[in-house]
Amino acid sequence: MSRLATLQRIVQGVSSSAGLHSALELIVNDVKTELGVDVCSIYLSLPGSDELTLMATNGLLPWAVGKVKLKLNEGLVGLVADHAEPINLSDAPSHPRYKFLPDTGEEHFHAFLGVPIIHHRRLHGVLVIQQAEQRSFDEDDVAFLITLGTQLAVAISNAETTGELIGPDNERHEDVFIEGIAGSPGVAVGTAVVVFPEANLEAVPDRQAEDAKAEKNCFLNAVAQVQQDMVELKERLSMLPPEDRILFDAYMMMLNSDTLIKGTLDYIEAGDWAPSALRKTILEHTRVFEEMEDSYLGERAADVRDLGQRVLARMQTNQSRQINCPPGSILVSHEISATQLAEVPQENLIGLVCSTGSSSSHVAILARALGIPTVMGASKLPVGRVDGREMVVDGYLGRLCLQPSIGVRSEYLRLADEERELSEELLTEANQPAVTLDGKRIPIFVNSGLLADLLPSQKAQADGIGLYRTELPFMVRDQFPSEDEQTSIYRKVLTSFPDSPVTLRTLDVGGDKALSYFPVVEDNPFLGWRGIRITLDHPEIFLAQLRAMLRASQSTGNLHILFPMIGSVQQLEEALGLLSLAEAELEQHGVSVPAYKTGVMIEIPSAVYMAEQLAEMVDFLSVGSNDLIQYLLAVDRNNSMVADLYEDTHPAVLMALKASVEGAHRAGKPISLCGEMASDPAASLLLLGMGFDSFSVSLASLPRLKWVMRSFSTQQAKQLYEYAVELADPAAVRRLLDEALVDAGLGGLVRPGKR
Ligand code: PEP
Ligand code: MG
């Protein structure tokens, strides 16, 4: 067997091991055999300990496991740890750092090779091989051991995450946070309930149908039942307006589609029994989506698979599935479908975690509408091993912690409690205007994309809509909405605040927001065809949308149109040209359009430098900090691997924001910020200090933001900004801001920081 094949076999064995200890055993045994050495041992640095403990060996005396301990700089093993580099010696005992370990049987061995086990900069231990004869291990051996060390590091890090690897005193010392993507704000401490598809389509065996007619009936009955389930599930979410529940209509359409029905019946006709006919049709269908390598289409594949599983489950048991979800449950899955979310009793659900997906997944959109703290894309979460475990969900920072230590648990419980208490206090706060201590009125608008965000009881809190993401109604449909359909949606949005500004953003698809019926396949979607770049290339789509917006504003006259992803003056000229054309077309048809305003989103670094010129061409600017930060710092906003580099208090971010404000003001135009940064109470202080004129946040974040604005003067905020921008370290900026919040009596708004 080649080295590579051996490595793959060991790695597979490690990942399918029952736990860390069996993985360690497997490695020491296999490495010893494969390399033909006399000893293979693994020393680990356990959480909360400053020593390296012998955890597994094949070759030294077995009693030594768990007993032999070395300081981090002791002996040759300590030297490997200290230097974080391999050490390869033909005669270890003659090395000055050699420390003889009595009663381990070590005295027989001369040759020594040790490699560090490192994961994401952290040393987890040392992997060692030894041999009696004096020899130098060759480069292949070193490379083999290093590669194995990196794989082992992942397994160790997972074991730490799940709480399987704990300190010598059986206490959890260091909380390991698993980074994901913030899906819906809020925090929760509860019990993980892992959701998995009961009926496993892929496991359905091929079988010949004995009675094709009976098989067809069985399949059609199951489809009819699942359709009925969908109607019921849609009703369960009756708190959402019909426009938002249209997703379930899309599922109904899939269930009725020729591809599914005829495809399956054809396979049955050709001799398959119903389950394998269904499997073949569904897999063909999902593969088409999956091969498109597009995150949104990937999610559509998941929808199709979910429907297929449901039909299969109906065929198998003819009973609807029930997820057992007691109070305090946190739903965890690789992919939670919108239907699974609807199945769970909402009053028992306190959090949601998905190891895949992003903040634009259907389920995240629904979770935000339902107010459930959610973390998406937690790719490092070993989903299969967490059912029934205690878990902390931080939907603000997009991270979670399994089996938290007493400290972290109580910190988050306090936060969750405070949020509940605060919500009473904040409700009063929410209905007050945001006026700073020195009397400056800061309009606070709301971000929306679902009509559910605009429930009458909460509307009073906002000064209007600062960002209506028009792509969301496009995303939950199976084709472009018609101009009339769009007009009717936009009219509802505009009339929800008839006397206040309502900002409709033109279609911003691409990046991670794709339309199933408009596939875009790119290597770098965030740097590709998205936002205004698409709509300028498709004037027929853009003009229909612009006409729909203008028509919708006829009775209200409060329309603000916002262009996303503008990178140059020329793009803005083109967009404004098309807007004039849309207006002229309407007027030709006798439709008179009331006055409206236009604005540009500052989300691309080039637009920061052009802010003044852009502002001169429109009525207002609005910073999309979510994108601006990702482009400025070159950090994918949906990649959990680099989530800790996504810093809204990075000095470069602060300088870019300040430059945008100055550009807008030089042109005499107001500037707002509508990204998530304004929802962060600490960061919002800096934004106030820079001179932003207004903000737009989700309804859930609005009361907190108002509280901050009402508790500081613009002068205090300005001073804080001036201090902060001099600090090179984003963490130091955060400390400064947290202290300011505490001093102003807003300690309840301080969020646990990244560690
Ligand atoms: C932003 O980029 O900050 C923004 C508000 O737009 P979106 O999050 O929809 O890309
Ligand atoms: Mg954006």
Element (H, E) at 537: helix 532-537
Cα separations in angstroms, 704 against 427, 440, 677, 713: 10, 17, 13, 16
How remote is the CA of residue 564 from the centroid of ligand 2, in Å? 7
How remote is the CA of residue 65 from the centroid of ligand 1, in Å? 54
- Ligand 1 atom nearest the C-alpha of 564 is 6
- Ligand 1 atom nearest the C-alpha of 626 is 3
Nearest CA residue ID for atom 4, ligand 1: 624
Nearest CA residue ID for atom 1, ligand 1: 624
CB 469 less than 6 A from any atom of ligand 1: yes
How remote is the CA of residue 249 from the centroid of ligand 1, in Å? 27
CA 92 to chain centre: 48
How remote is the CA of residue 40 from the centroid of ligand 2, in Å? 52
Nearest CA residue ID for atom 9, ligand 1: 469
3-state secondary structure of 7: helix
CB 624 less than 6 A from any atom of ligand 1: yes
How remote is the CA of residue 578 from the centroid of ligand 1, in Å? 23
Look at strands 349-354 and 374-376 and give their pairing.
Answer: parallel
How remote is the CA of residue 622 from the centroid of ligand 1, in Å? 10
From the candidates 218, 325, 354, 674, give the one annotated as an active-site residue.
674
Residue 322: the pLDDT is 55
Q: Where are the alpha helices (DSSP H) in 618-729?
A: 625-633, 651-666, 681-690, 702-711, 714-726
Q: Can you give the pTM of this predicted structure?
A: 0.70
Structure tokens at 390: 């205690």
How remote is the CA of residue 592 from the centroid of ligand 2, in Å? 31
362 catalytic residue (yes or no): yes
In the predicted model, residues of the chain with pLDDT beneath 50 are 319-321, 754-755
Residue 320: the pLDDT is 43
Q: In a mutational test of the pocket of ligand 1, which residue from 359, 627, 629, 694 has the highest number of ligand atoms less than 8 Å from its CB?
A: 627
Whose atoms come closest to the Cα of 675: which ligand? 1
How remote is the CA of residue 33 from the centroid of ligand 2, in Å? 55
Residue 562: the pLDDT is 98
- Ligand 1 atom nearest the C-alpha of 603 is 2
Residue 321: the pLDDT is 44
Q: Are 446 and 699 in contact (CB under 8 A)?
A: yes
- Which tens digits make up the pLDDT trace of 695-721? 999 877 888 899 999 999 999 999 999
- Which tens digits make up the pLDDT trace of 81-120? 999 999 999 999 999 999 888 878 888 899 999 999 998 8
CB 526 less than 6 A from any atom of ligand 1: no
Whose atoms come closest to the Cα of 673: which ligand? 1
CB 394 less than 6 A from any atom of ligand 1: no
Q: In a mutational test of the pocket of ligand 1, which residue from 509, 626, 653 has the highest number of ligand atoms less than 8 Å from its CB?
A: 626
CB 675 less than 6 A from any atom of ligand 1: yes
Nearest CA residue ID for atom 3, ligand 1: 624
Query: Residue 35 phi/psi, 5° resolution?
Result: -90, -5
Whose atoms come closest to the Cα of 472: which ligand? 1
How remote is the CA of residue 463 from the centroid of ligand 2, in Å? 22
What is the 3-state secondary structure of 541-577?
HHHHHHHHHHHHCCCCCCEEEEECCCCCHHHHHHHHH
CB 626 less than 6 A from any atom of ligand 1: yes
Structure tokens at 209: 């149908």
E strand intervals along 456-501: 465-469
Query: Residue 208 phi/psi, 5° resolution?
Result: -80, 140
- Ligand 1 atom nearest the C-alpha of 677 is 3
Q: Are 657 and 687 in contact (CB under 8 A)?
A: yes
What is the 3-state secondary structure of 388-406?
CCEEEEECCCCEEEECCCH
589 Cβ contact list (under 8 Å, min separation 6):
none
CB 458 less than 6 A from any atom of ligand 1: no
Query: Residue 160 phi/psi, 5° resolution?
Result: -70, -40
How remote is the CA of residue 499 from the centroid of ligand 1, in Å? 25
From the candidates 119, 124, 285, 362, give the one annotated as an active-site residue.
362
E strand intervals along 290-409: 329-333, 349-354, 374-376, 390-394, 399-402
CB 229 less than 6 A from any atom of ligand 1: no
- Ligand 1 atom nearest the C-alpha of 628 is 2
CB 627 less than 6 A from any atom of ligand 1: yes
- Ligand 1 atom nearest the C-alpha of 674 is 5
Q: In a mutational test of the pocket of ligand 1, which residue from 361, 475, 621, 674 has the highest number of ligand atoms less than 8 Å from its CB?
A: 674
How remote is the CA of residue 743 from the centroid of ligand 1, in Å? 32
How remote is the CA of residue 596 from the centroid of ligand 1, in Å? 22
CB 286 less than 6 A from any atom of ligand 1: no
Nearest CA residue ID for atom 8, ligand 1: 626
How open is the CA angle 656-657-658, to the nearest 5 degrees?
Answer: 90
Q: In a mutational test of the pocket of ligand 1, which residue from 365, 508, 671, 672 has the highest number of ligand atoms less than 8 Å from its CB?
A: 508
Nearest CA residue ID for atom 6, ligand 1: 624
Q: Are 178 and 378 in contact (CB under 8 A)?
A: yes
Domains (range + CATH), the chain:
3-162 (3.30.450.40), 176-195+323-423 (3.50.30.10), 201-317 (1.10.274.10), 430-749 (3.20.20.60)
Residue type present at position 627: D
CB 448 less than 6 A from any atom of ligand 1: no
User: What is the separation, in whole angstroms, between the first and last Cα of the chain?
Assistant: 44
Q: In a mutational test of the pocket of ligand 1, which residue from 184, 565, 601, 633 has the highest number of ligand atoms less than 8 Å from its CB?
A: 601
Residue 401: the pLDDT is 92
CB 466 less than 6 A from any atom of ligand 1: no
Going by C-alpha positions, the residue among 259, 280, 273 that lies closest to residue 202 is 280
Whose atoms come closest to the Cα of 447: which ligand? 1
